[in-house]
Amino acid sequence: MPRFCSKICLIILDGWGIGKKDFSNAIHRAGTPNIDWIKKYYPMISLQASGIAVGLPFNKAGNSEVGHLTLGTGQILYQYSVRISQSIQNGSFFQNPALLEIYNHVKKNNSTLHLAGLLSDNIVHSSYKHLIALLD
């Protein structure tokens, strides 16, 4: 029967990263004796913190929020912006009952619709493509 440790410690080092051990790596240059000691005497594993591993598009940098959500759920949780992009691609976005109700109300009453939100091409929290889809 395998023997398991009775205690475990999860250490999250936001922004730490694992990079080259050269002059371009500030953490390597800083010297980290305590972390070096922990890594030497205790088992450790690094986790993928970007792209599809945390529910973002391939090669997109993650952030603390998406990393913590992924750790907390224990599975890949596609971020809202990714889910919205997928719904635009498969057409379900344009059949969204809430959006259709708003559209029909504005059209029926010849009223104005004000849109407010984030606008960027970063993808973590927003995408300009989402605005384009809303305008379509």
Give the residue numbers annotated as catalytic, written as ranges: 64
**CA 132 from chain center: how many Å?**
22
Q: E strand or H helix at 132, and its extent? A: helix 128-135
Greatest distance between any 2 Cα atoms in the chain: 73
Rounded CA gap, 63 and 49, in Å? 8
With vertex at residue 116, the alpha carbon angle to CA 115 and CA 119, rounded to the nearest 5 degrees, is 110
Rounded CA gap, 127 and 136, in Å? 15
Question: CB neighbours (10 Å) of residue 88?
Answer: 18
